[in-house]
Amino acid sequence: NAGVTQTPKFRILKIGQSMTLQCTQDMNHNYMYWYRQDPGMGLKLIYYSVGAGITDKGEVPNGYNVSRSTTEDFPLRLELAAPSQTSVYFCASKIQGGAGNTIYFGEGSWLTVV
């Protein structure tokens, strides 16, 4: 049971390039999330999904896209990278239902846009 796995761990992008951050979980969780963490800040929600085929915007969705074709996978796409997207990205998941259920986080992906 690996939990939430993110790849890549580190990436440097040039302005205008595109890339996909991969996220997969093996806990059969229905809810999945993408957060970004900027220095000295808390986590900001980018997108979330409550199940396969269902996605919705969070607080800071601009410049990103997601898809959820399977329960396990929730990739995050950056189409035209900008320096403002330099951040640490965390994928997370939790079992469906229950407002108090614990969210499980991946190890993070460090992205630098130059």
Partner 1 sequence: AQSVAQPEDQVNVAEGNPLTVKCTYSVSGNPYLFWYVQYPNRGLQFLLKYITGDNLVKGSYGFEAEFNKSQTSFHLKKPSVLVSDSALYFCAVRPGYSSASKIIFGSGTRLSIRP
At residue 45, what are phi and psi to the nearest 5 degrees? -80, 130
- What is the closest distance, in whole angstroms, from the C-beta atom of residue 2 to partner 1 in the complex? 13
DSSP reduced 3-state for 78: strand
- Strands across the sheet containing 64-66: 4-7, 19-25, 76-78, 64-66
Beta carbon nearer to partner 1, 106 or 111: 106
Beta carbon nearer to partner 1, 14 or 40: 40
List interacting residues with partner 1 (CB under 8 A).
4, 31, 33, 35, 40-43, 45, 48, 50, 56, 58, 90, 92, 99-100, 102-108
